[in-house]
Every structure is written in structure tokens, then in C-alpha cells.
Structure 1
Amino acid sequence: MKWDTQGKPKKPRIVGIGAQKAGTTWLSQMLSQHPQVWLPPFKEVQFFNYHHVPEHRQWLPWHFKRARQNQEKRYAAKGLPLPPEIDEWLTRITKGEMFTNHWYKQVFAPAPQGTMPCDITPEYSTLPDEGVDQVAAFLPKATFIYIIRHPVDRLVSQLKMNLTRKNRKPRTVEAWMGEIDDPVLYDRGDYATYVPRWQARFDEDRLLILPFGAIAANPGTFMRRVEAHCGLAPHSYSNMAAKVFAANKELSVPPEVRAVIRERLEPQFQFIEASFGPEFAGQIR
């Protein structure tokens, strides 16, 4: 891992803003291989949503606790202790006052000279207007990436993730119907509300919007577009075809429930086609 122990606080130059369950972890794994990019050793810094989406604050301490635990497990699996520079850095960003402007820049301090610090946090896509205003003011040189996934597939993926975390397995159509009433499931994929909010502040040279299906169809071409957008040289990536999170095969949404989800999400499909055209809409899955 590229690491500058004497690095000064700095802002990210590349920001992946979402959407949740739309390939952001895959994108993070690809960009982490690029010699011109530096990502923290955990995904999702969660800075802007901390300030503008108050309900997220209840799980953010868990998020950073898990980040340390994951790093310790990663090195333990290799029979190695946590490197002292990572240990010191994790301590520095998880102790004392967090989520200040200076703290955010401290997160990217280890990025070596000549690399572009990168923050990939899908929760950013759901920021309110004042949150996107803060992003625009605080990151005037950053470029942004927003991946659009098929609304039903995205919601179902999020639902399965939530159910797995809670160890719940709906057994009946009625039980599944109760699960899909959670408004959070629809909020994370409300492209019709959130995409225009970002487009109003960033034009195409700052904000790249890509269809999720393009990752599987041609991951190399997908990354060429990302590189060109971010000002990166072409790079040869490994494991481009690997699936990051395998679907929970024990959870299968009944067709009747999928039909209801599809009906509820019709405005999202209309928005995607009207905004990006039928070719783009055909590549979102």
C-alpha cells in the first residue's frame, strides 16, 4: 500500500458518490490498484452525510470501529501485526474530535505526493441541497462518479443486505410485503430527486454518470471512462470480473413482491430514460 507517513492533510480529488449497491465497492477495488490514486484502507469516509443526514450518525461509530477490526483481521490472516503507520493513523482519525474539516483532510494525509486522494462513499448521493452545496464549496477541484443501477435490482440488493445483517428471512409473500415498506429502500435509489441536485452544481467535466451494467459488459471500457474523467493514465487492473458481494441465495424475493416494487419505482425508470436516453437505460443492469 502506498503510504506517506509524513504526508500533510489534503482533500480528495476523486469522489465516488453512489449509488448504494451499484458497484461502488468494485470501483474502489479497481481504483485502489491505480498507481496515481490513493484510497484510505477502508471504504467510505462518511464526512458530508455526517453533517447533513443526522440519522446516519447513529451507526457511524460502528463503521469506524469495524474499519479498525477489518484491518487487524486482514493482517492477522497473513500472520502479521497491524503496521505501526496504519495503527497510528487509525488511532488519530478515530480519537478526539471527528468529522471536522481538518479531520477530513487528515484522513487523506498518507496519500503520497503525486497521487490523487479518493473518497468513495455512496451515502453522499443522498445529500440534501445544502449538503451538495458544501461539497461544491469544499471540493472545488474534485471530480465525481455516480453509478446508476436498475432501480428494482438495486432495491432488492439493499433489502437482502439489510435482512442478512438483521438475520431475518421472510417466509411468506405477506412478510416480504412488510419488508418492502421501509422508506430507506426507496430513498437510496431516488435518482429522480438526487441526480438533478448534483447536476445543478457540477457539469459533465466534473460529474461522470455511468450505468451499472457497463461494469459487467466491459469492465475495461468502464475503467477507461473513469480514468479519462479523472485525468488518470490507463492502467491494467486485476480481478475485473470478480463479484464483490455474492447474493444471499437463501433470500429470494417472490415475483409478486418484485411486481409491486417495479410499480412503485416506475417514476425512476421514466426519469432515467428521459434524462439519459434509451441506450443508457438499457445498460443499467
Structure 2
Amino acid sequence: MTEKLFILGLGAQRAGTTWLHQQLNRCDAVDMGFTKEYNALVNPKASLRGQWRRHRRRQEQLNASFGSARRFSHEEFLALPTEQKQLLMRVRHHHYLDYFDHLVADNPTIHATGDISPYYAQLHADRLRHIRRQLRRRGFTVKLIFLLRDPVDRIQSQLRLIRREGHVPELSRIADPDRALAVHYRSARCERHSRYEHTLAAIEAAFPANDVLVEFHERLFQQHSHTRLARFLNLKLPPPELTKKINAAPGPQFRDTNLLRAIAHHYAPTYTACRERFGDQVEQLWPYARLV
């Protein structure tokens, strides 16, 4: 029997996850489903009150979207628009598991599927263990991929995209890019995608090392990285599109070198945690690591 493979991608945001998703989907044995980021997995609320509030909010979302909180068969689920499918995956987790199970079971040529959502970099170890356990019960081998990028570079890229697309009006209204960067890098929005040490610790507590691939954005678009990916997943991937750029975020350059140095120092624990795990590669690949 051919192994069923589930590829769980945790990000990082602005580190090449969209390119990775497209390269995986080019493989005949892979079907990543109706979207790249399902964003269906969340950490449980710590308190009973928090759990109850989340339950009530989800019921309200179901009522607002469907007019009721009724149950859906798998066939009905598949016919729904993308946003409604994602809502059901978050609220009724069996839809998430059923969907990927059917993707593989219903097509004999498909052996691998997955979900690459940078939002999942925030998941705690207990939550990662839980989803791994649920997928393994469905017969999947679960492989986890986490892409890293120099935090200072990642933060600049994230801010360019935010300002270009107007996601955060208070940042888009600041005319000076350096001033916007000074506001952004300390924000909770930025921290949760840049503190790799928390994600790495959760991964290490939840997954065996041989089921984890950590790769650097700075060398992702190279043949040897693609070969390593194919070997890790045990898939015959097509030749990579190494020059293809996806979701690039060109824009004004940030010129305040003192600010960039301050950002590197702010994320010094992140650089240290990565040095401890990956050694000299960090200094070689991440220019801002040399400032800390």
C-alpha cells in the first residue's frame, strides 16, 4: 500500500511558502486542495470562559453564514464556496480531516496532500501533537516544514506587502517607510511571525526530528534545497522553477541603518536560538545576524 503523506507547513510568513506550495502542487502525486492556507487550526483557549466565548462566536458565524448551525454531508461541504468551507473546517474539525482524507482516497494517483499556513507558526506544542495524532489515525504520515528567513529581512518584506495592499491603515498612512518600520517591528502582529524560537521549540516538542524539515529562504531557490525537499518527502518532484517569483513585495527601501541594527538587537534571542540549532549557517545566510 502506498504511503499517505500529509505536509504541514508552518511558515514563516514572507519566507517562500507560496512558491513552495506551487512547486508541490506541480507534482502529479500531490493535491494540496482548494487553497494554500486553510487557517483551520487554532490554539485552545486557556480558560473555560474563553472556550465558551469562542463556541458562541463560532455558532454566531455559522448562523450568519448558513442561516443555521445545521450539519453538512461531505458532498454538501465540497459544493460550498471557499470561505464557507474554511469556516466549517475551523468550527467542525472533522471537515478538515475528512477533506484531506477524501483527496487521497478518491484519486489513486494522489499520495500526498497538505496545508501550508504561516498562521500556524503560533500553534503550541500540544496543538501540534493533537493534529499530528488525528492525521496519523487517518493513516497519514505527517511531515512538517518550517521555512526561516533573516528576521530583519522578513519584517521589511512583510511591511512592504502590508503597505502595498493596505491591510493595516495605520501603517499605510505613515508616509516615511522608516517611521512605519519603527512602529511595525515591535507590534504583536510582527512579533508572532518573527519569534522563530517559540515555533521551533513547539515543533521539537511535538514532532520527531526525522519528520521535520527546516529550510532557509535564502537558499530555498536552489537545486540542492529542492533535492533535499524531495528526499525528505519521498516524492518525485518535477524540476523546480528556481527563477519564478511569487508574491514579491518591491517597494521603498528602508535606509535608516541604525533602525535596522535596533531591530536585529530586538530579535537577538531569535538569532541566538537559530545559531544554537543551525550553527554557522545563520551567519553565512543572514546578514543581520552579524550585527547581534
| Fold similarity call, TM over 0.5 | yes
| Residues 108-147 of structure 1 mapped to structure 2, 5 A cutoff | 108=100, 109-111=102-104, 112-113=107-108, 114-140=110-136, 141-147=141-147
Q: Does 1:91 align with 2:94?
A: no
Change (3 A) 1:189 1:179: closer
Alignment partner, residue 261 of structure 1: 263
Normalising by structure 2, report the TM-score: 0.73
Match of 1:248, SS?
A: coil
Specify the alignment match of 1:244 in structure 2: 246
Match of 1:194 in 2: 199
Match of 1:46 among 21, 39, 50: 39
Structure 2 spans left out of the alignment, 5+ residues: 66-74, 288-292
Residue 170 of structure 1 is matched in structure 2 by 174
Change (3 A) 1:234 1:40: closer
Stretch moving more, 223-232 or 179-188: 179-188
Alignment of 1:161-240 (within 5 A): 161-166=161-166, 168=172, 170-172=174-176, 173-216=178-221, 218=222, 220-237=223-240, 239-240=241-242
Tell me the amino acid that sits aligned with residue 128 of structure 1. H
Pair 247,148 (structure 1): closer, same or farther in 2 beyond 3 Å: same
Deviations 1:40-60, CA, capped at 9 Å, x for gaps:
232111121376699xx99xx
CA distance in 2 between counterparts of 1:139 and 1:199 reads 18
Residue 5 of structure 2 contacts residue 111 of structure 2 at CA under 8 Å; is this kept in 1? Answer: no
Quick check: 1:37 aligned with 2:41? no
The count of aligned residue pairs is: 245
Give SS of 1:48's match: coil
- CA separation in 2, counterparts of 1:102 and 1:197? 24
Q: Is the 8 A contact 1:170 1:176 kept in 2?
A: no
Q: What TM-score results when the alignment is normalised by the length of structure 1?
A: 0.74
Greater share of helix residues, 1 or 2? 2
> Aligned in 2, Cα 1:235/1:282: closer, same or farther, shift over 3 Å?
same
Deviation at 1:92, TM superposition (A): 8.1
Compute the RMSD of aligned alpha carbons. 3.1
CA shift for structure 1 position 169: 5.0
Q: For the structure 1 residues 206 and 52, does the alpha-carbon distance in structure 2 shift closer, same or farther, using more than 3 Å as the test?
A: farther
For 2:21 and 2:29, how far apart are their aligned partners in 1? 13
Distance 2:29 2:98 in 1: 19
Amino acid at match of 2:285: Q
Bigger radius of gyration among the two: 2
User: Which residue does 2:70 correspond to in 1?
Assistant: none
